[in-house]
Amino acid sequence: MANELSLPGRRSVIMGLAAAVAVVPRTHAAGGLARLTLWPAQPPGGGGPAGAFVQDDSGAVSNISTPTLEVFLPQKPSGAAVLVAGGGGYRRIGLIKEAYPAAYWLAAQGITAFVLTYRLPSENWTDGPVVPVQDGQRALRVIRANAGRFGLDPGRIGVMGFSAGGHLCGMIAARSAFRSYAPVDAVDEFSARPDFAALIYPVVSLQPPFDTTNTRRSLVGETPTPEARAAWSLHTHVGADCPSIFLVQADDDLVVNPQQSRILDEACRGAKVMVEYHRFAVGGHGFGIGNAEASVALWPRLYRLWLTSLSVMR
């Protein structure tokens, strides 16, 4: 069952938004102040679950019948924005532990954050593994279409993903020219290419020996072909059009082999894509915005400095 989250003193910032932006229902346990619907009608392809989101004890959600964006508005907007995707092996989405803390931190830096609740391929969508990419590409277009409403610079819009969400954000970044769905309205005239990408302990490869993750099972099944493994492995798509990448992982990660980030780092360097890779000795998997008692908690500060070097933060 969903739990209510109190947002004292912050709801006033949504005043003046256009009618198309709806206040988030409090029954959704949402952390954002407003919500945008991604699609004007049913999402592409058809299929999928019915009913409301299901939330587990950790605050992760599944049963995603209607993908959405939750908006976190800073008190002093800088014009930059970041799309945030929590992880969960494409079987659920970590909102409370990963996406929402990151969004609040981004807003505190003056960055407007958009938390994406994306469709899960394991929930019987007709388009299967493509549906999260469809939602991610559409989300960037929706953000750019609403740039004037939220005071955003369309050229300073990035992505941040954790674990499977890191895989999703990486695929969006590396495959921005890929048409994952047929255009449905004028929103789809906007670019789906992020200007920068932060991938935090991301799933990168679905190929042996890195094929033990839930991400691999959710995307390509139990007995995938070599072609399917390669097609959904992030590093195989990194090319010259990929935006700059900020990469973080701990060497004691027991869920996603740390070698995966090293593979992506090498792929970026081989393609001459600017990459900043931070390795931490201790942190495990799922540390999110970081434990204040561990060195891995330094990554948000390093990320902010990286954004400054890219002139995203001004």
Q: Flag whether the pTM goes above 0.75.
A: yes
Show me where the domains of the chain are located. Answer: 28-309
DSSP 218-237: HHH-SS--HHHHHHT-GGGG
Is the pLDDT at 161 greater than 90, yes or no?
Answer: yes
Helix (H, G, I), strand (E, B) or coil at 259: helix
DSSP 149-174: HHT--TTSEEEEEETHHHHHHHHHHH
* CB neighbourhood size of 244 (10 A): 21
Separation of alpha carbons 179 and 181, rounded Å: 6
Q: What is the pLDDT of residue 32?
A: 58
Calculate what percentage of the chain has a pLDDT beyond 70: 89
Which uninterrupted H or E stretch holds 215?
A: helix 214-220
Separation of alpha carbons 250 and 59, rounded Å: 23
The CATH fold of domain 28-309: Rossmann fold (3.40.50)
Choice among 50-59, 122-131, 251-260, 289-298 with the minimum mean pLDDT: 289-298
Q: What is the pLDDT of residue 67?
A: 96
The residue-averaged pLDDT of 126-152 equals: 97
The label of the residue with tokens 């500060």 reads 301
Cis peptide before 209 (omega within 30 of 0): yes
Amino acid at residue number 255: V
CA of 11: how far to CAs of 2, 24, 45, 78, 96, in Å?
Answer: 20, 11, 36, 20, 19
Phi, psi angles (nearest 5°) of residue 117 = -100, 100
pLDDT-derived band of residue 33, with 50, 70 and 90 as boundaries? confident
Choice among 5-19, 99-113, 294-308 with the minimum mean pLDDT: 5-19
Are the C-beta atoms of 299 and 162 separated by less than 8 Å?
A: no
pLDDT-derived band of residue 291, with 50, 70 and 90 as boundaries? confident
Separation of alpha carbons 221 and 294, rounded Å: 36
The residue-averaged pLDDT of 57-67 equals: 94
- DSSP annotation of 291: -
Is the pLDDT at 2 greater than 50, yes or no?
Answer: no
Gyration radius (Cα) of the chain, Å: 18
The residue-averaged pLDDT of 45-56 equals: 94
Q: What is the pLDDT of residue 15?
A: 25
Is the pLDDT at 71 greater than 50, yes or no?
Answer: yes
Cα four-point dihedral sign 216, 217, 218, 220: positive
pLDDT-derived band of residue 290, with 50, 70 and 90 as boundaries? confident
Cα four-point dihedral sign 277, 280, 281, 284: negative
269-307: b or e for each residue (b if 16 or more CB lie within 10 Å)? eebebebbbbebeebbbbbbbbeeeeebbebbeebbebb
pLDDT tens for 238-268 read 999 999 999 999 999 999 999 999 999 999 9
Nearest to 282 by CA among 261, 302, 301, 254: 254
Q: What is the pLDDT of residue 294?
A: 84
